[in-house]
Amino acid sequence: MDPRELLTIGAFARASRLTPKALRLYDELGLLPPARTDPRSGYRFYHPDQLERARLVAWLRRLGMPLARIRTVCALEPAAAAAEVAAYWSGVEADTRARGELAAFLIGYLTERSEREITMPEPAPALTIRYATRSDIGLTRAHNEDRAYAGARLLAVADGYGAADDAPASAAAIDALKPLDTDMPAGDLLNALERAIHSADAAVRDLVAADPSHAGRGTTLTALLLSGSQLALVHVGDCRAYLLRDGDLFQITHDHTMVQSLLDEGRLTREEAASHPQRTLLLRALAGSGVEPDLHLREARSGDRYLLCSDGLSTVVETAAVKEVLRTVADPEQAVRRLVDLANAGGGPDNVTCVVADVTDRAA
């Protein structure tokens, strides 16, 4: 390499529109090492051919992409890198939609409070839930990495991955959420769930830190928390929550997967998605490295039926068949048994876990 071709860090910074400080950081992180470093002064020199990578890093930073993910993008071939950027942006858009829904709720809530006369509030409807849960190893897996919880206030399903034994990350995540199964003011629901999800993420991190053999473990998590007539939802990954209301079935979570992002962009059909080689690739999960969950607040109604399930059900059993069970099998215990049986009848390729909960008047 001819030293005369090299650019000083200052010249390279001006050409790439990055600051020298940023270039030093990207060198330390291995994102953009210089072509040569003077052994005495430590001064960095760059080759003009590095400008394209430097500009890509700058663009990705302007997009808001974390440095760890930028490193992944820079290591890929252009087509794969484009797909990774598209998947990242799909996640950003999903986050924005979720935050927009929360902002709309807060605007309405605060506006109503500002206009309301000072009167004694009407008591919230006294609602309760009838529930059942069932988890099965399936027909092909050596261990069941799914975990579920159902109580008077809290419903949760977690689908772990990466375990070679019966101590999955999903168990740590569920344990972190269990203290929420108690009475609390409706106004505290979202904050309590957000704190709990970060505690669950920390629990997964601690699990890995305690034993290096646990590296690579993580879990998805979907949970509902009830207070009065308010129902808070938290969601990370590809477990799902469904609502059956007035005979119609609605999916109320959005999968955080590569395939779902391609579906959102119109780059895949549902038929193509079912057999896509990356259909299990998660864009968000609890893996101990920080996560932004989807958080929503819903109005619960007497007569509603909720289903929480791992993807061992949703990827095997057609939605129409799930709807038929939820509509026709009145007892939650029988409903979860029937759903698990359908997943195993479809080949049982994965662990399958279901929670079915009916919202009723407390006096019912």
pLDDT in tens, 48-101: 888 888 888 888 888 888 877 888 888 888 888 888 888 888 878 877 776 777
pLDDT confidence band for 291 (50 / 70 / 90): confident
Look at 146 and 18; give whichever has higher pLDDT: 146
What would the two tokens of residue 261 be?
Answer: 């992002």
User: What domains lie within the chain, and their CATH numbers?
Assistant: 3-72 (1.10.1660.10), 126-361 (3.60.40.10)
Share of the chain above pLDDT 70, in %: 88
Please give the structure tokens belonging to residue 178: 């269990």
Give residue 118's pLDDT band: very low, low, confident or very high (50, 70, 90): very low
Kindly give, in sequence order, each residue whose CB lies less than 8 Å from that of residue 184, ignoring residues fewer than 6 positions away: 153, 192, 227
Compute the mean pLDDT over every residue in the chain, rounded to the nearest whole number. 86
Mean pLDDT of 340-364: 91
13 φψ region: left (φ > 0), alpha (ψ -120 to 50), beta (else): alpha
The reported pLDDT for the residue numbered 327 is: 97
Work out the angle between the directed axes of helices 51-62 and 9-16 (0-180°, nearest 10): 50
Angle between helices 9-16 and 20-28 (to 10 degrees): 100
Residue of 281 and 194 predicted with greater confidence: 194
Does residue 364 carry a pLDDT above 60?
no
Q: What angle do CA 96, 102, 104 make, to 5 degrees?
A: 100
Classify the C-alpha dihedral 110-302-228-155 as positive or negative. Answer: negative
Percentage of the chain modeled with pLDDT above 90: 46
Beta bridge partners of 226: 231
The tens digit of pLDDT for each residue in 4-26 reads 788 888 888 888 888 888 888 88
β-strand partners of 140: none
Question: What is the pLDDT at residue 63?
Answer: 85
Give yes or no for a contact between 16 and 52, defined as CB atoms under 8 angstroms apart: no
148-172: average pLDDT: 89
pLDDT at 107: 79
Among 162, 167, 236, 238, which Cα is nearest to 199's? 236
Q: What angle do CA 84, 145, 253 make, to 5 degrees?
A: 55
Q: Is 17 left (phi over 0), alpha (psi -120 to 50) or beta?
A: left
Half-sphere exposure of 164 (CA within 13 A, CB side): 6
Q: Could you give the CA distance from residue 22 to residue 301 in angstroms, rounded to a whole number?
A: 53
Q: Which of 86-100, 127-141, 262-276, 317-331 is the least confident region?
A: 262-276
- The whole-model pTM stands at 0.67
Does 262 or 195 have the greater pLDDT score?
195
Which pair of structure tokens corresponds to residue 288? 């101990």
pLDDT band, very low/low/confident/very high, at 207 (cuts 50, 70, 90): confident
Residue range 189-197: average pLDDT? 92
